[in-house]
Chains A and B, each alone.
Chain A
Amino acid sequence: MDYFSHSLSVALELIFQLDPAVWQVVWTSLKISLMAIVIASAMAIPLGALIALNEFAGKRFIQQLLNTLMAMPTVVVGLLLYGLLSRRGALGDLGLLYTPWAVVIGECLLIFPIILNLTVVAIQSADSRLLPTLHSLGANRGQTMWMVLSETRFAIMAAVVVGFGRALGEVGAAMMLGGNIEGFTRTMTTAIALETSKGEFELGLALGLLLLSIAFLVNLFLQLLQRRAV
């Protein structure tokens, strides 16, 4: 236990000394996760509403598929994209591998099914009187979708928070696609992996604590937003 408590105190010291290397890593992580969550949400939320509000053949299958994709191992996403983005791959000419963009794309792919699925579930479990009411009021499709989304906004925001957490805490795709390049694609999670392998337990722990604190702050922020909106 001594080793652990000693590491913990060194970790706290590192955090409060505002070590620039630590903050660079934190900033990179936030940037990548924020971009991924914005892009994935912009696509997944409207699509989720479309799926939830319409009946069509294969709907159940799609939902099962989404459930499966939610469990997609992050290294599999990393591997697939690696094959695509490498200079030898189909999208190699874009030169995206080992850039933050590659990581953003990877995180997007990981969290897209999560947000999509949770959006579908959120809308499906909304008040069953909502749709008939909107119809009887003569709402068109666009208006219906907008109303449904705003009625279920808390559940959808929860979906976004879950997605953000996944993007922020993910290490497999970030390592494979970003390459853990210092000051460029080194995120909190890849830095923790590196420092741990280097035996720098304290720095790894410091970053782990920061990761948790940031997740906490983001959740707090969203909760405050929700309160204000009520």
Chain B
Amino acid sequence: MKKFLTGLATAALLAIAPATFAEKSLKMSTTTSTVNSGLLAVLDPAFEKKYGIRMDVIAVGTGKALRIGGNGDVDVVFVHAPTAELKYVASGDFIDRSAVMHNDFVIVGAESDPAGIGSAKTVAEALTKIAKSQSPFVSRGDDSGTHKKEKLLWKAAGIEPKGEWYQAAGQGMGAVLRIADDKQAYALADRGTQIAYADKMALKVIFEGDKALFNPYHVMAVNPAKHKHVRYDLAKKYIDFVTGKEGQAIIESYRKRGEQLFYPAAK
């Protein structure tokens, strides 16, 4: 009995240990929107196939994705928070920052639009209307790129969002859309995730089109001078791929329910 168990355990260890965890790969931290929108599910396999490199993608909020990269725990970072990105570049954590694509943010909400933001001229006006009417608003509250953007927009509107109507969920874009949908609340969302979730929720795009809602995505390599172990060669290949002809064509042609989610930005 004991022997049998010991044998079983050893066999399990031997079978599992060497083969599975050894493989080399390119590690990337990224925002949830690139994954939740489904884009990386078509972009990355093309790269993996071309170079025979496995991609390990860690999808978290942009804030955390940047920190993971700054700690040297990944090789490449794919995010959307230009101000924060430039800070990391200035401190020498990342190099080769390149524009990949862009889309825009939208404010989603119940079709009845209780705060009447559909007629607003600017996003500042829209947010003011939400705050004035105390209409429920669900914030990411997770230091993600979308959350950073949202904070900037409130600030620009001269409002400090506070009170029962303003709820910080502390979760990813998809989760926040679900929560907002349940509460019939407003929320700021990136267009990519909004389109990807459109058929799973009753929320509609209520406000869009202000230039302040521009949402650019950049890819950066973790600086090998700062973190010796990073696979800069692979990171560079990835950056060249997504900003190159093939990657840009995949981004251009990526559609969900017939709608384009991202617009290629590389020159």
Q: Which residues of A contact B (CB under 8 A)?
A: 31, 34-35, 38, 41-42, 86-88, 92-93, 95, 97-101, 150, 153, 179-185, 196-199, 225, 228-229
Contact = CB atoms under 8 A, between A and B. Distances in A.
Contact of A150 (B2, B21, B178): B2
A199 B38 CA distance: 13
Interface residues on B, range: 35 or more
21 contacts: A38-B9, A38-B13, A41-B9, A42-B9, A86-B71, A95-B229, A97-B73, A98-B56, A100-B20, A179-B58, A180-B59, A181-B58, A184-B54, A196-B175, A198-B174, A199-B174, A199-B177, A199-B178, A199-B201, A225-B1, A229-B1
A183 B59 CA distance: 14
Nearest to B74: A98
A199 B194 CA distance: 12
A87 B21 contact: no
B223 to A, nearest CB: 12
Contacts of B54: 183-184
Contacts of B175: 196-197
Interface in B129-164: none
Contact of A88 (B1, B56, B71): B71
B73 A86 contact: yes
A41 B5 CA distance: 12
Given A87-B71, A88-B72, A180 B58 contact: yes
Contacts of B172: 197
A181 B74 CA distance: 12
B36 A198 contact: yes
Contacts of A197: 171-172, 174-175, 178
A91 B108 CA distance: 44
A87 B227 contact: yes
Nearest to A194: B59
Nearest to B56: A181
B21 A99 contact: yes
B6 to A, nearest CB: 9
B90 interface: no
B200 interface: yes
Contact of A35 (B17, B58, B227, B229): B17
Contacts of B12: 34-35, 38
B16 A31 contact: yes
B25 interface: yes
Contacts of A182: 57
A186 to B, nearest CB: 10
B263 interface: no
Interface in B56-71: 56-60, 71
A87 B172 CA distance: 25
B27 interface: yes
Contacts of A198: 36, 174
Given A35-B16, A87-B72, A181-B58, 13 more contacts: A34-B12, A38-B12, A87-B227, A97-B73, A98-B56, A98-B74, A153-B2, A180-B58, A181-B57, A184-B56, A197-B175, A225-B1, A225-B4
Closest 9 CB pairs of A and B: A87-B72, A179-B58, A197-B175, A181-B56, A199-B200, A229-B1, A38-B9, A88-B71, A198-B174
A75 B51 CA distance: 36
A99 B73 CA distance: 11
A44 to B, nearest CB: 14
B197 interface: yes
Contacts of A100: 20-21
A31 B20 contact: yes
A88 B71 CA distance: 6
A127 B84 CA distance: 65
A87 B16 contact: no
A38 B15 CA distance: 13
A198 B173 CA distance: 9
Contacts of B17: 35
B257 to A, nearest CB: 14
A87 B2 CA distance: 40
A217 B227 CA distance: 45
A34 B16 contact: yes
A98 B229 CA distance: 15
A93 B228 CA distance: 10
Contacts of B171: 197
A173 to B, nearest CB: 15
A150 B172 CA distance: 50
B64 to A, nearest CB: 10
